[in-house]
Amino acid sequence: MEAKQTIAPGTEARGGGLKRRLAVYGQKYGILVALVLVCLVLAVANEYFLTARNITNVLRQTSINGILAVGMTFVILTRGIDLSVGSVVALAGIVAASLATTSSTAGVAGGPYPALLAIAVGLSVGMACGAVSGVVVSRFAVPAFVATLGMLSAARGLTLLYGGGRPVPELTPGFRVIGTGEVAGIPVLVIIFAVVFLIAWWVLSATRFGRHVYAAGGNPHAAVVSGINVRRIRFLVYVISGGLAGLAGMMLAARTGSALPQAGIAYELDAIAAVVIGGTSLAGGVGRVTGTLIGALLISVVNNGLDLMGVESYYQQVIKGVLIVAAVMLDQARHRRE
């Protein structure tokens, strides 16, 4: 979009410069503008919206989907997709919970174990799921949609097998800190999300690995010829997505106080929605994790606003659907102009 501005020198002379510039800004920062507008409208419409308590609440609600969406951004940037994150949320959550519960029936013998150990195991479970998907995609060239659809089903089955279909309750206070704790009034959930986001932003924008991710997604052939190990990159993005899904699963269990075998169902859809609304192209190679953050926030704010105004939750789903499609239509319109 910057290209058009600089390459076509005649546009300013024709008048309409301001209008055009506004249009360009609108397209470039469209999602951010939409978020700000929605916030303004809600702030005027409902006095409760701008209270510290509600803002904290919105951020808390964004955290888990936001973390999944950050992982999803890596995968989608390489032209992939990870449909398994919802199931991995449940599997990692229940495995970690079984190590951190005082319940004698649902826990692993000898427990409860220290919270850090449980978290390490939960992360490993998530990364292992991602590694399996990653190998299937990168080594055996199975389309990501199919490979992770398989993992979606398999991880859910493993979750039910592991816990016998029962929830794991009575989590230790140490483990529950990641879901309910607060530091200086800020929920630990939000802090973890902020840290994950900042690391992802740094990795994608400042590191060699980040360049590799964009190149591998933008044109895998050119990336291979340029000496980039595209298979390795494709493998690693699923490990990242799986690991973050594991983290999100534990945060969810810690927040609610017990790990449920049916946790995380359809979470992958909200994660993909946040990425897509945030402007990352499903065709790969184009997108930013800042966009994903804004996308995730927009979904939460809209849900929150509709809650505050007492709109039925069924409508929320319809509106989210419209939002997703509208965001991509905007993006397509921009591409056509280019």
Where on the chain is the footprint of another protein (CB under 8 A)? 2-4, 6-11, 13-14, 206-212, 214-215, 218-219, 221-229, 281, 285-286, 338
CB of 278 to another protein, least distance (A): 16
Choice between 285 and 295, CB closer to another protein: 285
CB of 337 to another protein, least distance (A): 12
C-alpha neighbours within 13 Å on the C-beta side of residue 264: 35
Give the DSSP letter of residue 224: H
Choice between 23 and 177, CB closer to another protein: 23
Choice between 174 and 218, CB closer to another protein: 218
Distance CA 279, CA 149 (A): 24
CA 257 to chain centre: 22
CB of 214 to another protein, least distance (A): 6
CB of 279 to another protein, least distance (A): 13
Per the structure block, which two tokens stand in for 265?
């169902």
Choice between 12 and 182, CB closer to another protein: 12
Choice between 3 and 184, CB closer to another protein: 3
Choice between 6 and 313, CB closer to another protein: 6
Q: Give the residue carrying structure tokens 């195991």.
A: 121
Choice between 115 and 223, CB closer to another protein: 223
DSSP string, 26-87: HHHSHHHHHHHHHHHHHHHH-TTTTSHHHHHHHHHHHHHHHHHHHHHHHHHHTT---TTHHH
Task: Give the amino acid at 278.
Answer: G
CB of 82 to another protein, least distance (A): 21
The interaxial angle of helices 52-77 and 289-308, nearest 10 deg, is 140
262: Cβ–Cβ under 8 A, 6 or more apart, which residues? 90
CB of 23 to another protein, least distance (A): 14
**Exposed, middle or buried, 318 (CB in 10 Å: 0-12/13-18/19+)?**
exposed
CB of 281 to another protein, least distance (A): 8
Give the SS3 label for residue 265: coil
